[in-house]
């Protein structure tokens, strides 16, 4: 396949950086034991104290479009995929869970969520982008001209993968390993090239990740033999200020499946509002203790089937339709059929929600009709793919914005479950005094994507053993 059309599922940056933020919050998860990673906001790592909200929106839309075009090119062009091995949980870890901090990248000016991860022995703190569309966990390795990054020479558990090995030649082929092998002991290398001109070149290795045990009062445990990429050369703006990606896709080599294999076959996260500051944070959790210990959530949990085969390595859901104020829109059922050129995935690495054209038009048509009766339509400076934007003024009774004006949108799944996001998840703040419909049109045939803004203020639990997705509304700011 053309490396220039590499899946941007790998592109998005898993920033692994040390934080001094001591505040945290978590939620519980309905099953056995688990491991949590705190989802933290990135203000402490911001390149500037303030950012232009409009420029941020335009940048995340651009990144989303590039990402979508590249991530699905891999899925459709890959000539083979390995048979997935169902997670087999370790009995000695079944009553344990681990957690890692996770937060919005709002203060950094990005639309991703960052996870604090401790890699190597002794542990080195990294801040990575949580990406359910990426199979490989990679980070920039520190070189003489870099102030930060992972230092493999300081880790006793860093072990490279030889280029002569079957692992490099066959197993890592889908991870874009290179064929060159000057000597049998030369490390297996990779070269990611993205359609926006960005790229990452490095070597494969296996490493140890350390994480705190949920409710373990400071105790930690290790996830060993994790496949990682040590990126030596980074090109393009897509990686500016980032240390790498935390691979959470459904793959034999992703961190999500490696950690889930140890802790009950599940992982979950709770995404704070995408405009939250760093002190509002939560956790990426591996294991089932999280939701179960937060009893108020249990009565509000909804469950739907995960399709882990048709659009692998992505997490596909079986959408039946979309309703506005309880009435299903006239959208052809073919749009939602993954085996007929359509389908829908849920993706933490994409910010906005993409709908293929036959679904996009009815959805934005219904919403714009309601908003146009109250507000004046406008365009973002410089244009862009956010097609429907409206001016408002919070100090003017005539031009104020009220959520009660907005029809309630819901995703309906084929098994009867329904996901009703809050209004702020699909009518988003794009600039001071401007709100836009947070949908982007995608070409048909193609896959629709439920992005992280649509997922905000909800707990999401991925059960890889039972192929079930659980979700419930939450502030994501308290246990």
pLDDT tens, residue by residue, 296-318: 555 689 999 999 999 999 999 99
The pLDDT value recorded for residue 475 is 87
Pairing verdict, β 266-270 and 282-287: antiparallel
The pLDDT value recorded for residue 388 is 93
Query: Who contacts 48 (Cβ-Cβ below 8 Å, separation ≥6)?
Result: 109
Q: What is the dihedral of CA 144, 148, 154, 157, to 10 degrees?
A: -130
The domain defined by 298-473 carries CATH number 2.40.70.10: yes
CATH H superfamily, domain 3-294: Acid Proteases (2.40.70.10)
The pLDDT value recorded for residue 305 is 97
Secondary structure (DSSP) of 416-474: S-EE---GGGTEEEEETTEEEE-EEEE-SSS-EEE-HHHHTTEEEEEETTTTEEEEEE-
Burial, 234: exposed, middle or buried (Cβ in 10 Å; 0-12, 13-18, 19+)? buried
What does the alpha-carbon distance between residue 434 and residue 443 come to, in Å, rounded to a whole number? Answer: 27
Q: Is the pTM higher than 0.75?
A: yes
> What average pLDDT does this structure show over 84-91?
48
Residue 401 has pLDDT above 80, yes or no: yes
Question: In Å, what is the CA distance from 40 to each residue of 105, 182, 353, 357?
Answer: 8, 42, 22, 34
Q: Which residues are catalytic?
A: 131, 347
What does the alpha-carbon distance between residue 346 and residue 239 come to, in Å, rounded to a whole number? Answer: 23
Q: Which of 25-29, 205-209, 327-331, 458-462 comes out lowest in average pLDDT?
A: 25-29
125 close to 45: Cβ distance less than 8 angstroms: no
The pLDDT value recorded for residue 447 is 95
The pLDDT value recorded for residue 9 is 34
Average pLDDT of the chain is 80
The pLDDT value recorded for residue 477 is 78
More confident residue, 119 or 67: 119
Domain with CATH 2.40.70.10 in the chain: 3-294, 298-473
The pLDDT value recorded for residue 104 is 80
Residue 141 preceded by cis peptide, ω within 30: no
Residue 76 has pLDDT above 80, yes or no: no
Find the angle CA(44)-CA(47)-CA(49) to the nearest 5 degrees: 70
C-beta neighbour count of 303 within 10 angstroms: 17
């Amino acid at each position: 396949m053309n490396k220039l059309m590499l899946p941007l599922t790998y592109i998005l940056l898993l920033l692994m950086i040390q934080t001094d933020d001591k505040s945290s919050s978590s939620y519980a998860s309905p099953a056995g034991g688990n491991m949590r990673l705190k989802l933290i906001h990135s203000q402490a790592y911001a390149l500037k104290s303030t950012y232009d909200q409009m420029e941020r929106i335009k940048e995340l839309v651009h990144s989303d479009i590039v990402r979508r075009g590249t991530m699905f090119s891999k899925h459709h062009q890959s000539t083979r995929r390995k048979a997935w091995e169902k997670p087999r949980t370790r009995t000695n870890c079944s009553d344990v869970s681990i957690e890692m901090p996770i937060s919005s990248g709002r203060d950094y000016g990005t639309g991703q969520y960052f996870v604090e991860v401790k890699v190597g022995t002794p542990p080195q703190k990294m801040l990575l982008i949580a990406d359910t569309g990426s199979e490989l966990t990679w980070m920039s390795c520190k070189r003489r001209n870099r102030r930060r990054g992972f230092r493999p020479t300081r880790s006793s558990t860093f072990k490279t993968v030889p280029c002569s090995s079957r692992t490099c030649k066959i197993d890592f082929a889908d991870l874009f390993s290179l064929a060159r092998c000057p000597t049998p002991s030369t490390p297996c290398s990779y070269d990611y090239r993205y359609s926006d001109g960005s790229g990452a070149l490095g070597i494969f290795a296996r490493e140890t990740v350390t994480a705190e045990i949920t409710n373990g009062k400071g105790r930690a445990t290790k996830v060993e033999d994790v496949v990682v990429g040590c990126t030596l050369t980074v090109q393009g703006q897509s990686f500016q200020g980032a240390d790498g990606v935390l691979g959470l896709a459904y793959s034999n080599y992703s961190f999500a499946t490696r950690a889930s294999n140890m802790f009950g076959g599940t992982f979950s996260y709770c995404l704070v509002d995408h405009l939250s500051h760093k002190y509002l944070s939560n956790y990426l959790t591996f294991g089932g203790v999280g939701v179960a210990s937060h009893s108020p959530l249990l009565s509000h949990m909804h469950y739907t089937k995960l399709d882990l085969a048709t659009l692998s390595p992505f997490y596909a859901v079986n959408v039946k339709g979309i309703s506005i104020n309880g009435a299903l829109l006239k959208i052809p059922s073919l749009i939602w059929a993954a085996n007929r050129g359509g389908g829908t995935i849920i993706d933490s690495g994409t910010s906005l929600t993409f709908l293929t054209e036959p679904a996009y038009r009815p959805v934005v048509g219904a919403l714009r009709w309601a908003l146009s009766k109250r507000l004046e339509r406008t365009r973002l400076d410089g244009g862009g793919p956010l097609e429907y934007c409206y001016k408002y003024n919070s100090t003017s009774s005539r031009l104020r914005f009220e959520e009660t004006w907005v029809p309630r949108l819901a995703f309906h799944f084929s098994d009867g479950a329904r996901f009703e996001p809050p209004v702020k998840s699909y009518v988003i703040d794009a600039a001071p005094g401007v709100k836009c419909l947070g949908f982007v049109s995608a070409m048909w045939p193609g896959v629709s994507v439920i992005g992280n803004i649509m997922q905000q203020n909800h707990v999401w639990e991925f059960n890889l053993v039972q192929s079930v997705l659980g979700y419930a509304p939450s502030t994501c700011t308290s246990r």
